[in-house]
Amino acid sequence: MIPTLPFGRTNHLSTRIIFGGFALAYCTQAEADRTLELLFEYGINHIDTAANYGDSELRIGPWMPRYRDRFFLATKTQERTYSAARDQIRRSLDRLQTDHLDLIQLHYLVDETEWQVAMGAGGALEAAIDARAEGLVRYIGVTGHDLIVVKRHMQSLERFTFDSILLPYNYLLMQNAEYASGFKALMATCAADNIAVQTIKSIARGLWQHSAPRHASVWYEPLTEQAHIDLAVHWVLSRPNIFLNTVGDLNLLPKVLDAAKRFESTPSEEAMQNLMREAGITPMFS
C-alpha cells in the first residue's frame, strides 16, 4: 500500500501518490473501471482531474455514487472570469455525479494577463470562493507548468492563501539553478502556511521528437522502462511532504504505482546521472 500524508491544512490523509485523471481522458468506461480496481489495489484515495481533460470527469462520475467517501476528489477550471468559472464548477459537479468537490483548482495559471483576470475583481478566484461559501467545494488550489511557475505561484500565494499548489518537479528540472532556487523558496512558504504541494512530470523524458512514434497519451515523451521509472519516482518521493501525481497514460500507470510501492530510499547522485545519460532525458521547458 502507498503511505499517506496530511494534504496540507485539509488534514485529509491522502496517499502520497495521487491519481492523475488525465489518464482517463480518452478511454472507455470499461477501461476506467479497471483502473478503479487498480487504485483500490494500491490504496489510492485521492483523485485529481480537470474539466478540460477530455472525458475524464465523465469516466470518474459513475464511481462516485458508490465510492465518493473513499476519495478526496479534486478537479480544475481553466476559465478566468467569474461567470465562466462558476458555470464550469457546476458542470463538473454534474459530470462527476457529486454534490461537492474537495478541491477546486485554478488550472495552469501562469500567463500574466490571464493571472490578472482570474485573480482580480470578477475573476475565477471569486467564483471559487463563492462556491466554497455555498458548500460546493471545500478547498481551493492553483496549478501551473513551465519554468515561470515557481515565480507565479509565489505571486498567487501573496494574493490569496491557497490550500494547495501543483507544479513540475523532477531531477533534471532541479538542475536548473533558477528553478531550483524558486522551488526551494516556494516550499518554504508552503511549509510555513501548511499548503499541500503536488508535483507532476516525475517520469518526463523530454519533448516528443517529430520523428518518434507517440507511444503514450501524454504531451511529453515519458520514461517507459521500469528501472528508469523506479529511479525517477523514488527521487521525487525522497523529498518529504510532497505528493506525486501519476502519469496521464493508463499503460504506464501500473509501473508508476509499482515503483511507488517499492520506494525505500533516495537514489544516489551517480544513479540519477546515469539515468540522464541512459534514458536521454532532455528539458521540456525553455
Residue 108: give its domain's CATH number: 3.20.20.100
Bridge-based pairing of strands 46-48 and 72-77 is: parallel
DSSP code string of 92-157: HHHHHT-S-EEEEEETT---HHHHHHHHSTTBHHHHHHHHHHTTSEEEEEEE--STTHHHHHHHHH
Is 286 within a domain? no
Alpha carbon distance 3, 213 (integer Å): 36
pLDDT tens column, 138-170: 999 999 999 999 999 999 999 999 999 999 999
pLDDT exceeds 90 at position 105: yes
| Domain count within the chain | 1
Q: What number is the average pLDDT over the span 239-262?
A: 96
Cell of 237: 518521493
pLDDT exceeds 60 at position 215: no
* Region for residue 11 given its phi and psi (left: phi exceeds 0; alpha: psi -120 to 50; beta: otherwise): left
Predicted model pTM: 0.96
Alpha carbon distance 88, 105 (integer Å): 12
Cell of 209: 521528437
Q: How far from chain centre, in Å, is Cα 272?
A: 23
Q: How is residue 169 annotated by DSSP?
A: -
Cell of 216: 503514450
pLDDT score of 217: 66
Is 173 within a domain? yes
> Which is nearest to 247 in space by CA: 237, 239, 256?
256
Average pLDDT of the chain to the nearest whole number: 95
pLDDT exceeds 80 at position 220: no
> Which is nearest to 57 in space by CA: 88, 24, 17, 102?
24
Is 284 within a domain? no
Mean pLDDT is lowest, of 96-100, 212-216, 227-231, for 212-216
Range(s) of the domain holding residue 188 = 4-279
pLDDT score of 213: 61
Cα 186 to Cα 139, 155, 179, 181, 212, distances in angstroms: 19, 10, 10, 9, 36
Cell of 112: 500574466
pLDDT tens column, 41-93: 999 999 999 999 999 999 999 999 999 999 999 999 999 999 999 999 999 99
Is 237 within a domain? yes
